[in-house]
């Protein structure tokens, strides 16, 4: 990996792209530390330093924003509205015929869906920004902090609208930065910004584990966590690269005097076909009951049960339900993102077939059978990896933002591998060596 980056910096064109990407990353990180107007920054820092406040319900969103959410900066919402909008559009493509038709139109249809994603991102940013401001004003953003209700001293309508518009503009600016990286940088702009957001929280989280440790001034806990992290990264790389290759043979056909086809290829089915989406779905769904209890301030029996079980990551009910939701959403997302019948029809259309399997419906049934078989270990792997923060919570006394949690490791490893692959492919295009040197 380091060799690929070293060779990339030696290539003038790629060097410009890498330096441009690094410049955008610097701008993004600066924006995550600029507070929005109307916020008392000292009270925010007081609450952030409070250990109990840092273990609230907003850990996942705060991680995706690079720690900007709890600091209530101009990039507080980060790229979460864009991620949510992209997931919603992808789900709606299955149920809305118009979106499905746009998806099949190629580049023009994809550009139209991207435009819809931008509009939905702005709408979600306004909605989430309003919710964040209301949460900060009520003092619910930092539970257990004595000055939580004094974060927004002026609660007038003008100040509230200014805060929401500032965060919405920040989200639109982040979306623009991601598209700049995609167009003029090394590609995968949104994924790289997500990677930077998560990686930025690692140093402080690791140092907090060392400070809270008791064995040899915390260095033993620190070393143990680092060892666990390296093992998890190796496991995630191994599983993320694992795939089942379905062989496909294309028959020869004559068009005029030319012969086409007769080639062999394969359909790569990844073990973790769903990626990190099931983990995000499951975590978001489990946050909803806890948020309802938090805003209702109810002391009824159902509210007490939710706080003791669903809102507590170490509770048995939370662990079991979280694991089952991840497994369910893994199968659900794979079912809507990979259509065996469409793949089988395309193969039949171009004269392709799987050796030993008849074209058409038998091919679709075979693909569904293989996909279900490999989704089981993939979903179980996602569930087990995602429970690592819970085990860390019990073993090291860490908070929910444990640096080597399942979601963070999956995103960092996935984006890192994809970025290296893109750099290597661009290097091969520029330094291709043929038979004659």
Instruction: For residues 284 and 354, state if they share a domain.
Output: yes
Q: Are residues 154 and 221 in the same domain?
A: no
Least confident of 86-100, 170-184, 251-265, 313-327: 251-265
Domain boundary among 154, 171, 200: 200
369 belongs to a structural domain:
yes
How many domains are contained in the chain? 2
Q: Is the per-residue pLDDT at 308 higher than 80?
A: no
Write out the two tokens for 148: 């939580």
156 and 220: one domain?
no
pTM: 0.79
Same domain? For 361 and 246 the reply is yes
Lowest mean pLDDT among 288-292, 325-329, 384-388: 288-292
User: Can you give the pLDDT at residue 61?
Assistant: 67
Mean of the pLDDT values across residues 369-388?
88
Same domain, 25 and 171: yes
Whether residue 190 sits in one domain with residue 236: no
Q: For residue 256, count other CB atoms closer than 10 A to its CB.
A: 6
CATH of the domain at 121: 1.10.3370.10
Token reading at 330: 């893994």
Q: Tell me if 435 is assigned to some domain.
A: no
Query: Do 323 and 191 reside in the same domain of the chain?
Result: no
Domain boundary among 200, 232, 267: 200
Q: Which residue has the higher pLDDT, 366 or 252?
A: 366
- Domain membership of residue 313 (yes or no) is yes
Q: What is the pLDDT of residue 254?
A: 62
Residue written as token pair 């402080």: 204
Q: Using 50, 70 and 90 to split pLDDT, how confident is the model at 57?
A: low
Task: Look up the domain containing 97 and give its range.
Answer: 1-200
221 and 174 belong to one structural domain: no
In a domain, 205, yes or no: no
- Exposure string of 285-308, with b = 16+ CB inside 10 Å and e = fewer, is ebbebbeebbeeeeeeeebeebbe
By CB atoms closer than 10 A (0-12, 13-18, 19+), residue 3 is exposed
Q: Is residue 427 part of a domain?
A: no
pLDDT range class, residue 119, cuts 50, 70, 90: very high
pLDDT reported for residue 132: 84
Report the sign of the C-alpha dihedral through residues 328, 114, 29, 193, in that order.
Answer: positive
Q: Residue 353: phi, psi to the nearest 5?
A: -155, 155
Instruction: Output the CA–CA distances (angstroms, integers) from residue 171 to 73, 78, 99, 291, in the order listed.
Output: 11, 6, 25, 23
Q: Are 56 and 87 in a shared domain?
A: yes
Q: What is the pLDDT of residue 430?
A: 67
What is the Cα–Cα distance from 268 to 251, expressed in whole angstroms?
20
- Shared-domain flag, residues 9 and 158: yes
Q: Which of 48-62, 146-160, 354-368 has the highest mean pLDDT?
A: 354-368
Quick check: is 27 in a domain?
yes
Q: What confidence tens digit (pLDDT) does each residue in 219-269 have? A: 787 787 788 778 888 888 888 888 888 888 887 766 666 666 567 888 888
Please determine, for residue 146, whether its predicted confidence score (pLDDT) is greater than 90. no
- Above 50 in pLDDT, residue 11? yes
List CB contacts of 92: < 8 A, sequence separation 6 or more.
99
- Whether 4 has a pLDDT exceeding 80, the answer reads no
- Across 132-136, average pLDDT: 83
Give the range among 50-54, 185-189, 414-418 with minimum mean pLDDT. Answer: 50-54
pLDDT confidence band for 55 (50 / 70 / 90): very low
Q: Which residues lie below 8 Å from residue 379, measured CB to CB, with a gap of 6+?
A: 274, 278, 326, 327, 330, 331
Residue 391 confidence class, pLDDT cut points 50, 70, 90: low
Give residue 261's pLDDT: 59
Q: 72 with 151, same domain?
A: yes
> Of 169, 200, 231, which residue is a domain's last?
200
Asked if residue 210 is part of any domain, the answer here is no
Gyration radius of the chain's alpha carbons: 24
Looking at the fold, whether 192 and 231 belong to one and the same domain comes out as no
Residue 248 belongs to a domain: yes
Q: Is the pLDDT of residue 110 over 80?
A: yes
């Amino acid at each position: 990996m380091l060799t690929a980056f070293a060779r990339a910096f030696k290539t003038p064109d790629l060097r410009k792209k890498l330096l441009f990407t690094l410049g955008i990353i610097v701008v993004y990180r600066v924006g995550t530390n600029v507070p929005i107007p109307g916020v008392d920054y000292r009270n925010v820092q007081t609450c952030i330093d409070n250990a109990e406040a840092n273990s609230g319900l907003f850990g996942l969103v705060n991680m995706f924003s690079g720690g900007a959410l709890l600091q209530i900066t101009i990039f507080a919402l980060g790229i979460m509205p864009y991620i949510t909008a992209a997931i919603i559009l992808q789900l709606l493509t299955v149920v809305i015929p118009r979106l499905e038709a746009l998806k099949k139109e190629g580049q023009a249809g994809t550009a139209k869906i991207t435009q819809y994603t931008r509009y939905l991102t702005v709408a979600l940013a306004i909605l989430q920004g309003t919710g964040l401001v209301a949460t900060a004003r009520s003092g619910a953003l930092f539970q257990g902090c004595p000055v939580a209700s004094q974060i927004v001293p002026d609660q007038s309508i003008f100040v509230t609208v200014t805060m929401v518009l500032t965060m919405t503009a920040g989200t639109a600016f982040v979306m623009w930065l991601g598209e700049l990286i995609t167009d003029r940088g090394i590609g995968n702009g949104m994924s790289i910004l997500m990677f930077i957001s998560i990686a930025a929280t690692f140093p402080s989280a690791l140092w907090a584990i060392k400070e809270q440790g008791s064995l040899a001034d915390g260095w033993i806990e620190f070393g143990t966590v680092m060892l666990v992290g390296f093992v998890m990264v190796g496991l995630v790389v191994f599983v993320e690269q694992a795939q089942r290759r379905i062989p496909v043979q294309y028959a020869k056909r004559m068009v005029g005097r030319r012969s086409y086809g007769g080639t062999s290829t394969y359909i790569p089915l990844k073990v973790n076909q769903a990626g990190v989406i099931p983990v995000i779905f499951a975590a978001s769904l489990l946050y909803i009951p806890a948020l309802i209890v938090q805003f209702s301030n109810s002391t009824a029996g159902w509210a007490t049960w939710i706080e003791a079980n669903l809102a507590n990551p170490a509770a048995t009910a939370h662990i079991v339900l979280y694991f089952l939701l991840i497994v369910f959403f893994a199968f659900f997302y794979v079912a809507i993102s990979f259509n065996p019948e469409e793949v089988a029809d395309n193969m039949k259309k171009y004269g392709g077939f799987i050796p030993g399997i008849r074209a058409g419906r038998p091919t679709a049934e075979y693909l569904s059978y293989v996909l279900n078989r490999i989704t089981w270990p993939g979903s179980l792997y996602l569930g087990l990896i995602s429970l690592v923060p819970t085990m860390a919570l019990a073993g090291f006394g860490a908070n929910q933002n444990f640096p080597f949690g399942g979601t963070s490791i999956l995103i960092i490893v996935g984006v890192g591998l994809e970025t290296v692959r893109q750099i290597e492919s661009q290097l091969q295009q520029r330094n291709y060596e043929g038979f004659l040197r």
